[in-house]
Amino acid sequence: MVDQLRNFQSNNLFNKQAEFSNGCCNNGNCEQFPNLQLKSILADNKVLNFNKTSFQCNMTSLPKSIGDYIEEKIKVCQPDKIHICDGSMEEYTALLEMLKSNGSIQKLDKMENCWLALTDPKDVARVESRTFICTSSQNKTIATPKSGFKEADPSLNLRNLKCSALGNWMSPEDLEYELSRRLPGCMKGRTMYVIPYSMGPIGGTISKIGIELTDSPYVVCSMRIMTRMGIDVLNKITDESTFIKCLHSVGVPLPTKREIINDWPCNPEMTMIAHLPEKNEIISFGSGYGGNSLLGKKCFALRLGSILAQKEGWLAEHMLILGITNPQGVKKYIAAAFPSACGKTNLAMLTPSVPGWKVECVGDDIAWMKFDKNGQLRAINPENGFFGVCPGTSDYTNPIAMHTVKKDTIFTNVAHTDDGRVYWEGMDDNMVSHGEHLISWKGKDWTKDSTEPAAHPNSRFCAPASNCPIIDSEWQNPEGVPISAIMFGGRRPQGVPLVYEAFNWEHGVFIGSSMKSEATAAAEHKGKIIMHDPFAMRPFFGYNFGNYCKHWLSLNKDGRNMPKIFHVNWFRKSNNGQGSFLWPGFGENIRVLEWIFKRTENDSTVCKETPIGFMPKDDSFDLDGLGLSNENIQELFSLDKQFWLEELDEIKNYFDENVNDSTPQEIYDQLNSIRDRFSKV
């Protein structure tokens, strides 16, 4: 390693103290920071037998706005080296080989260009309790709960954090204090990687650009899969361009006395993920897990994205996008919101069980949607890859995903075989029953008799979207695809029918705002409790949820072709939620999509009016060949009046308490209308 930066003092982490000189780069060194190496990691890599000399980290060739941002963070974080990523395969391969030589990842020899990372067991999921928005006004971000803010856990090491059920807020002054405890010198002994990336097709009308600075080569490799990254993005940036500034550090400067588990540096005691929308900036410290470190994903695409969308009149949503074609060759596009680990990827990659139907994937997690000049809502997938949950994914539940991850994939926290294949719960029971030797995500020998799971419940695959055999031909269209329907859904074991349709846009907004779901492993919540997850965005709102509802309501304007809105529930169980699943799900979900398809064509012969919305008429829903009993069919579509009256009371209490005086009147109007309709049953 080169000598570390010396004699640095920071009076204010938000103020720049100097500018780059015109001749910043000189033979690979920076005149402004003489001890900082500015050279390609490819040329410095001792693992490989090549020396890439054509790529120069010429800081003066960068737009001034980017150079200023990098300078500011170099002075604070004090890296030993800086590497500007060009996004090439050569660079990607070199970084993977470097990670392999460090023991941070391992090559999966039986899979083409696939790799496995095992994290510190304390760094395995998004940390919602340590994630917050920093704005000048608290009410911009979260409403004041009726009973006041709950006290933040003192073990979080976050001063004056305001916590609510719909997000966390911190003042700029308190954030500056927290950053002063974390950032100075946080990259000592490490390389700062500069990642230029685009969310959405490069140059697209709705696409946005980010610059992430990170000291994690694992993040660089993952960002190359998940975003459009590299020189092509830099070429689109001018001195006048705006971009989202993203800073990430694992929070372990070198040398360190901290125990590094699995060669996965992290600092869970000091982890925080801060969003500064008034500065177009994200700062993540202490975690390497993808949801906390791949800052283009939830942090940019949803939290800051939703704020940009409100300002500019569009939507940034936690939604899959799929194309569906009927046997007659008519194609439509549907966007669908589900909480994390509730089946978005399975639905986006659905293999229809009904002959003649075809489903193609545009995206499995995030949708940016904007009305065009003709009043048509159009959606893009801002991502470039899939960051999917592994457990439960199999050739039965999602054969498309299994094909997608066979090559060019980075797996995290799954089990593996001695010869270099992967395993997780629900993937292949034969591997277990035949007694094949497995090594768990914790690095321990594992058999079917082991008391701990082989793979972590939130273990992930990171795979290129281009690998998907049913990727839609329009998935890279910068104008997006036309949306005919929006679906909301979650894990509701009791009371909520398989599918119903909103009466109108306002009713649909209410359905999205009142979503609930059983908690999953994608965040740190424990147990199977039913949680409110409005719009499947509860962990990802960038601004006050009441204003978010108002923004959705404001989109319904004359001349616009408003999509129909539906709610689905694959997870209803028999015996009032205590038994087995009533609906087979997976490929059979095409039967629900078929009904939705017909309703987007205003086929009134297949629906009936109920207090909660339009539902399938008896015998109009294709259930042939499923072998469902009449009793199960009736329970799938049944509406229990008492359940729904209690549900409405609980929803009202939720808004009263958590959204308080920010709740739009339209929400209360919908509650009263549904209650009135039930009174007439």
Render pLDDT for 353-378 as a digit per residue (tens, 0 to 9).
999 999 999 999 999 999 999 999 99
Top pLDDT among 190 and 62 is at 190
Give the tokens for residue 591.
Answer: 């039967």
Please report where in the chains the tokens 């006290």 appear, as a residue: 151
Average pLDDT, the chain: 91
- CA 211 – CA 194 distance, rounded (Å): 7
Question: DSSP letters of 150-198?
Answer: BPPPGGG--TT-EEETTEEEE-HHHHHHHHHTTSTTTTTTSEEEEEEEE
Sheet with 460-464, side-by-side order of all strands: 105-107, 115-117, 410-412, 460-464, 385-389
* Residue 211, domain CATH: 3.40.449.10
Please check whether residues 282 and 331 belong to one and the same domain: no
Please check whether residues 429 and 558 belong to one and the same domain: no
Please check whether residues 462 and 487 belong to one and the same domain: no
Please check whether residues 203 and 252 belong to one and the same domain: yes
pLDDT digits (tens, 9 = 90+) for 136-154: 999 999 999 999 998 888 8
Please report where in the chains the tokens 């400067």 appear, as a residue: 253
- CA 264 – CA 443 distance, rounded (Å): 13
Nearest to 612 by CA among 514, 492, 490, 491: 514
Question: Any idea how long the chain is?
Answer: 681
Which residues on adjacent β-strands are paired with residue 376? Answer: 561
Please check whether residues 549 and 479 belong to one and the same domain: yes
Q: Which residues contact 235 (CB under 8 A, 6 or more apart)?
A: none
Please check whether residues 615 and 515 belong to one and the same domain: yes
- Whole-number pLDDT of residue 45: 41
Nearest to 58 by CA among 90, 31, 28, 91: 28
Q: What are phi and psi of 582, to 5 degrees?
A: -80, -30
The pLDDT of 480-505, averaged and rounded, is 98
Please report where in the chains the tokens 């059920």 appear, as a residue: 165
- Whole-number pLDDT of residue 239: 77
Q: Which domain holds residue 343?
A: 316-383+471-640
Q: Which residues contact 629 (CB under 8 A, 6 or more apart)?
A: none
- The count of structural domains within the chain is 3
| Residues annotated as part of the active site | 342
Q: Which residues contact 673 (CB under 8 A, 6 or more apart)?
A: 507
For β-strands 37-38 and 81-84, DSSP reports them as parallel
Query: Is 494 inside a domain boundary?
Result: yes
Query: Is 598 inside a domain boundary?
Result: yes
Reported confidence tier of residue 506, pLDDT bands at 50, 70, 90? very high
Query: Is 428 inside a domain boundary?
Result: yes
Of 300-304, 328-332, 427-431, the one with minimum mean pLDDT is 427-431
- CA 230 – CA 197 distance, rounded (Å): 6
Nearest to 484 by CA among 296, 662, 325, 298: 325
- CA 244 – CA 197 distance, rounded (Å): 10
- Whole-number pLDDT of residue 519: 81
Nearest to 335 by CA among 440, 472, 173, 456: 472
Out of 261, 284, 313, a domain closes at: 313
Please check whether residues 191 and 309 belong to one and the same domain: yes
Q: Which residues contact 23 (CB under 8 A, 6 or more apart)?
A: 31, 60
Query: Is 628 inside a domain boundary?
Result: yes
Question: DSSP letters of 107-128?
Answer: E-TTSBT-EEE---TT--SB-G
* Residue 436, domain CATH: 2.170.8.10
CB 567 within 8 A of CB 613: yes
Residue 26 pLDDT more than 50?
Answer: no
Please check whether residues 170 and 303 belong to one and the same domain: yes
Please check whether residues 551 and 490 belong to one and the same domain: yes
Out of 313, 334, 363, a domain closes at: 313
Query: Is 648 inside a domain boundary?
Result: no
pLDDT digits (tens, 9 = 90+) for 627-679: 999 999 999 999 999 999 999 999 999 999 999 999 999 999 999 999 999 99
Q: What are phi and psi of 274, to 5 degrees?
A: -110, 135
Query: Is 481 inside a domain boundary?
Result: yes
Give the tokens for residue 436.
Answer: 């094949």
State the CB neighbour count (10 A cutoff) for residue 60: 12
- 3 state SS of 12: coil
Helix (H) or strand (E) holding 371: strand 367-371
Residue 590 pLDDT more than 90?
Answer: yes
The C-alpha R_g of the chain, in whole angstroms, comes to 25
Residue 318 pLDDT more than 70?
Answer: yes
CB 534 within 8 A of CB 515: yes
- 3 state SS of 587: helix
Out of 467, 500, 534, a domain closes at: 467
Please report where in the chains the tokens 């087995």 appear, as a residue: 580
pLDDT digits (tens, 9 = 90+) for 446-465: 998 899 999 999 999 999 99
- CA 273 – CA 290 distance, rounded (Å): 12
Amino acid letter, residue 350: L
- CA 529 – CA 150 distance, rounded (Å): 19
- CA 98 – CA 506 distance, rounded (Å): 53
Q: Which residues contact 546 (CB under 8 A, 6 or more apart)?
A: 143, 659, 660, 662, 663, 664
- Whole-number pLDDT of residue 47: 32
pLDDT digits (tens, 9 = 90+) for 426-437: 998 888 877 789
Reported confidence tier of residue 422, pLDDT bands at 50, 70, 90? very high
- CA 215 – CA 191 distance, rounded (Å): 6
The pLDDT of 600-617, averaged and rounded, is 97
pLDDT digits (tens, 9 = 90+) for 31-87: 455 556 554 544 444 332 223 333 344 667 788 899 999 999 999 999 999 999 999
Query: Is 94 inside a domain boundary?
Result: no
Please check whether residues 408 and 481 belong to one and the same domain: no
- Whole-number pLDDT of residue 296: 98
pLDDT digits (tens, 9 = 90+) for 233-262: 999 988 778 999 999 999 999 999 999 999
Which residues on adjacent β-strands are paired with residue 335? Answer: 321, 486
Please check whether residues 406 and 424 belong to one and the same domain: yes
Residue 123 pLDDT more than 70?
Answer: yes
CB 278 within 8 A of CB 265: no
- Whole-number pLDDT of residue 155: 87
- CA 479 – CA 343 distance, rounded (Å): 27
Query: Is 150 inside a domain boundary?
Result: yes
Please check whether residues 379 and 291 belong to one and the same domain: no
* Cis previous bond, 478, omega within 30: no
- Whole-number pLDDT of residue 671: 99
- CA 109 – CA 419 distance, rounded (Å): 7
- Whole-number pLDDT of residue 24: 37
Burial of 515 (0-12, 13-18, 19+ CB in 10 A): buried
State the CB neighbour count (10 A cutoff) for residue 538: 21
- 3 state SS of 416: strand
* Residue 360, domain CATH: 3.90.228.20
Torsion 141-557-671-315 (CA) sign: negative
Give the tokens for residue 375.
Answer: 């009043």
Amino acid letter, residue 71: E
CA 56 to each of CA 30, 83, 394, 646, 648: distance values in angstroms, whole numbers, following the listed order: 12, 9, 44, 65, 62
